[in-house]
């Protein structure tokens, strides 16, 4: 006999566990299946995000930022230490502790909301039946759902000729767990992971070289922002080689030899460690039974419509395994929306206002369109900007680098995009997301009182500048 549920969620990452909690809150009998096992051998729900993604990377970014500031920035404040040292195993243990706390918290939340948790691999069969193969090797369990939510996430893309070995040639998992600071670190792909994890080890003393295939740096970001960011990261010692294709990599005598091709021809690099961060792909291995009827797209994503319904009635999919940006908050919002749709409530996701953040120092954050996208779409727009170098709080805190750039429709003045490169950009962008969600205009932001002295005044000034009336810069 199969146990019956109104909702069965396969995958316990930010898409899956959030969907399960919301479904349970709405009074639906819910199960969540996740196969992730923590370093302690115990279930560790939270997916990539909590275990080997968003959270551990931010823990290491924060640790390495303290170390870097101690060495390079505190002097200006009159603070000195005789000798700064980094204890890598302690830093990694702290990161693991943060992960443990949060994944344990997810287990508690699932329990508290009366979600039945299964630690194992879920496989969807016909008519919304699900088989769970327990992670501890126990007997297969059969479940039956009125609704199934697939939230199986993503895995790193491997490039031909550059095989992961988990020690010298690694993905995000390996680069979050180095036991010492590599003298030299090669990074293939100067995207989000490359920049964040490259920053961690660069701050701790590695010589970091990023090998990026595209001729443009951070092609998704607005060009004014990516240009400033490239300059700043170079100053920090990150060596970003654009237009560089990696051909192969091999390990010899504890070193990684990498062959590349760029405009000048073929070349080689030798590194102590190599991080491959060239994007992620949807993970559906073992998830879909042969006759379950769920279709995949040509690029391997689970095919869904704009309400996250798959090709099978009652089967939904959210997060990294479907179309759209691979971001934790996007996955969670989709999970909530699906749970609400199942419960018969209205729900909708505005993909146009999903914020992006790159947690470098300074941070990069944006919402909406870039100037290049508006030009390509022939949209008439006006631009306003404000440098943090003219913001009192930024100067007081020693964060003068970067700017806010705002784009608004020429006729209606509706905000079409905001791009920030600067300290706390990850927090500052929320105000702009709210403004855009309410279809706000630059005039709205210009008229809203911003506390002084705060970094958010740079957003206020960018809005004023858009109308030629900034106070603290020339117009
Ligand atoms: P996942 O988090 O991947 O979770 C899927 C879960 O399902 C996993 O636990 C997996 O083991 C499990 N699973 C898969 N198949 C099955 C099955 N058949 N049965 C049972 N369980 C299964 N995003 C941000 O928004 N901000 C960030 O700062 C950020 N930083 C990142 C840093 C790194 C290094 C990486 C790698 C990613 C980062 N991301 C970040 C992306 C973010 O982690 C993902 O977008 C997010 O985790 C996707 O959530 P998800 O629920 O779709 O999938
Ligand atoms: P990415 O798409 O951000 O960057 C990959 C980079 O690798 C691109 O610039 C691409 O041009 C380059 N590339 C691809 N093939 C190459 C090759 N053969 N040689 C050299 N360069 C090559 O992917 P990622 O950094 O692996 O991250 C994956 C996803 O995880 C991101 O897209 C993002 O959705 C998510 N993520 C988000 C955050 C965040 O929100 N702060 C942090 C980390 C990861």
Identify the nearest ligand to the CA of 319 by its number.
1
Q: Is 198 in the pocket of ligand 1 (CB under 6 A)?
A: no
CA 137 to ligand 1 centroid distance, Å: 24
Q: Which residues are annotated as catalytic?
A: 452
From the CA of 178, how far away is ligand 2's center (Å)? 20
pTM: 0.98
pLDDT of residue 474: 86
> Ligand 2 pocket: which residues have CB below 6 Å?
159, 188-194, 196, 211-214, 245-246, 277-280, 325-327, 357-359
Per-residue pLDDT of the chain (475 residues; tens, 9 = 90+): 799 999 999 999 999 999 999 999 999 999 999 999 999 999 999 999 999 999 999 999 999 999 999 999 999 999 999 889 999 999 999 999 999 999 999 999 999 999 999 999 999 999 999 999 999 999 999 999 999 999 999 999 999 999 999 999 999 999 999 999 999 999 999 999 999 999 999 999 999 999 999 999 999 999 999 999 999 999 999 999 999 999 999 999 999 999 999 999 999 999 999 999 999 999 999 999 999 999 999 999 999 999 999 999 999 999 999 999 999 999 999 999 999 999 999 998 899 999 999 999 999 999 999 999 999 999 999 999 999 999 999 999 999 999 999 999 999 999 999 999 999 999 999 999 999 999 999 999 999 999 999 999 999 999 999 999 999 998 8
Q: What is the pLDDT of residue 284?
A: 98
- Ligand 1 centroid distance, CA of 152 (Å): 8
Asked whether 328 lines ligand 1 (CB < 6 A), one says: yes
Q: Give CA separation, 298 vs 153, 319, 322, 367, in Å.
A: 17, 17, 12, 28
Cβ atoms of 462 and 385 within 8 Å: the answer is: yes
Atom of ligand 2 nearest to the CA of 245: 19
Mutate which of 56, 130, 152, 199 for ligand 1 pocket (most atoms within 8 A of beta carbon): 152
**pLDDT score for 115:** 98
Q: Is 35 in the pocket of ligand 1 (CB under 6 A)?
A: yes
- pLDDT at site 239: 98
Point out the ligand nearest to the CA of residue 189. Answer: 2
- What integer pLDDT is reported at residue 17 of this predicted model? 98
For ligand 1, whether the C-beta of 49 sits within 6 Å is yes
Q: Is residue 115 lining ligand 1, measured as CB closer than 6 Å? A: no
Ligand 2 centroid, distance to 432 Cα (angstroms):
25
pLDDT of residue 254: 96
- Give the 3-state secondary structure of the chain: CCEEEEEEEECCCCCHHHHHHHHHHCCCCEEEEECCECCCCCECCCHHHHHHCHHHHHHHHHHHHHHHHHHHCHHHHCCCCCCCCCCHHHHHHHHHHHHHHHHHHHHHHHHHCCCEEEEEEEEECHHHEEEEEECCCCCCEEEEEEEEEECCCEEECCECCECCCCCCEECHHHHCCCCCCCCEEEEECCCHHHHHHHHHHHHCCCEEEEECCCCCCCCCCCHHHHHHHHHHHHHCCCEEECCCEEEEEEEECCEEEEEEEECCEEEEEEECEEEECCCEEECCCCCECCCCCCCECCCCCECCCCCCECCCCCEEECHHHCCCCCCHHHHHHHHHHHHHHHCCCCCCCCHHHCCEEECCCCEEEEEECCHHHHHHCCCCEEEEEEEHHHCHHHHHHCCCCCEEEEEEECCCCEEEEEEEEECCHHHHHHHHHHHHHCCCEHHHHHHCCCCCCCCCHHHHHHHHHHCCCCCCCCC
84: Cα separation from own chain's centroid: 30
Residue carrying structure tokens 């100037």: 371
Which numbered atom of ligand 1 lies nearest the CA of 58? Answer: 28
- 263: tokens are 């405009």
Which residue's CA lies nearest to atom 11 of ligand 1?
36
Give Cα 151 distance to the centre of its chain: 16
Asked if 277 and 189 count as a contact pair (C-beta separation under 8 A), the reply is: yes
Query: Residue 293 has what pLDDT?
Result: 96
Nearest CA to ligand 2 atom 3: 191
The pLDDT assigned to 419 comes to 98
pLDDT of residue 294: 98
Pocket test for ligand 2, best of 52, 164, 192, 209 (most atoms within 8 A of CB): 192
Specify the residue with its C-alpha closest to ligand 2, atom 2. Answer: 279
CA 234 – ligand 1 centroid, Å = 30
Q: Is the CB of 387 under 6 A from ligand 1?
A: no
Nearest CA owner, ligand 2 atom 23: 279
Closest atom, ligand 2, to C-alpha of 326: 34
Tell me, in angstroms, the distance from the centre of ligand 1 to residue 322's CA.
12
| Residue located nearest, by CA, to atom 26 of ligand 2 | 279
Gap from CA of 195 to ligand 2 centroid (Å): 9
pLDDT number for residue 1:
77
- Assess whether the C-beta atom of 154 lies below 6 angstroms from ligand 1: yes
Task: Report the sign of the C-alpha dihedral through residues 304, 373, 444, 391, in that order.
Answer: positive
Q: Which of 56, 156, 189, 233 to mutate to test the pocket of ligand 2 (most atoms within 8 A of CB)?
A: 189
- Mutate which of 48, 302, 356, 367 for ligand 1? The one with the most ligand atoms within 8 Å of its CB, which is 48
Instruction: List the one residue out of 156, 168, 152 whose CA is nearest residue 254.
Output: 168
Measured distance CA(387)–CA(412) in Å, rounded: 25
Distance 323 CA to ligand 1 centre (A): 14
> Which residue from 111, 91, 99 is spatially nearest to 39, judged by alpha carbons?
99
User: Ligand 2: distance of its center to the CA of 279 in Å?
Assistant: 4
């Amino acid at each position: 006999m199969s146990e019956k549920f109104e909702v069965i969620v396969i995958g316990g990452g930010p898409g899956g566990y959030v969907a399960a909690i919301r479904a349970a809150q709405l009074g639906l009998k819910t199960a969540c299946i996740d196969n992730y096992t923590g370093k302690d051998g115990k279930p560790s729900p939270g997916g990539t995000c909590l275990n080997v993604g968003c959270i551990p990377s931010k823990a290491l970014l924060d640790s390495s930022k303290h170390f870097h500031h101690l060495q390079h920035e505190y002097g200006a404040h009159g603070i000195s230490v005789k000798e700064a040292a980094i204890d890598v195993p302690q830093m990694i243990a702290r990161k693991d502790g943060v992960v443990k706390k949060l994944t344990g918290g997810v287990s508690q939340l699932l329990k508290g909301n009366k979600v039945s948790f299964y630690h194992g691999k879920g496989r969807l069969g016909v008519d919304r039946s699900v088989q769970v193969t327990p992670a501890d090797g126990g007997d297969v369990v059969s479940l039956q759902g009125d609704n199934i939510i697939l939230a199986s996430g993503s895995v790193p893309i491997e490039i031909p000729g550059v095989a992961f070995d988990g020690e010298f040639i690694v993905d995000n998992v390996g680069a979050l767990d180095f036991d010492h600071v590599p003298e030299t670190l090669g990074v293939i792909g100067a995207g989000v992971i490359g920049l964040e994890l490259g920053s961690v080890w660069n701050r701790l003393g590695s010589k970091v070289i990023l090998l990026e295939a595209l001729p443009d740096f951070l092609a998704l970001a607005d060009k004014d922002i990516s240009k400033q960011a490239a300059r700043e990261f170079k100053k920090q010692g990150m060596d970003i080689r654009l237009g560089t294709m990696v051909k192969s990599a091999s390990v010899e005598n504890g070193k990684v030899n990498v062959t590349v091709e760029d405009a000048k021809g073929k070349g080689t690099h030798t590194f102590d460690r190599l991080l491959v961060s060239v994007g992620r792909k949807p993970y559906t291995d073992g998830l879909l039974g042969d006759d379950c009827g769920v279709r995949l797209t040509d690029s391997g994503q689970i095919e869904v419509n704009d309400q996250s319904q798959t090709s099978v009635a009652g089967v939904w999919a959210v997060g990294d395994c479907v179309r759209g940006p691979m971001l934790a908050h996007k996955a969670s919002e989709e999970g909530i929306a699906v749970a609400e749709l199942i419960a018969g409530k209205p729900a909708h996701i505005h993909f146009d206002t999903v914020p992006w953040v790159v947690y470098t120092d300074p941070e990069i954050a944006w919402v909406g369109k870039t100037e290049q996208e508006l030009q390509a779409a022939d949209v008439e727009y006006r631009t306003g900007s404000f440098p943090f170098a003219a913001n009192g709080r930024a100067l007081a805190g020693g964060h003068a680098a970067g700017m806010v750039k705002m784009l608004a429709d020429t006729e209606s003045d509706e905000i079409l995009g905001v791009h920030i490169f600067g300290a706390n950009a990850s927090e500052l962008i929320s105000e702009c997301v709210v403004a855009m969600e309410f279809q706000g205009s630059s005039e709205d932001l210009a008229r809203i009182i911003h506390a002084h002295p705060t970094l958010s005044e740079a957003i206020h000034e960018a809005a004023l500048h858009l109308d030629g009336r900034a106070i603290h810069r020339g117009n």
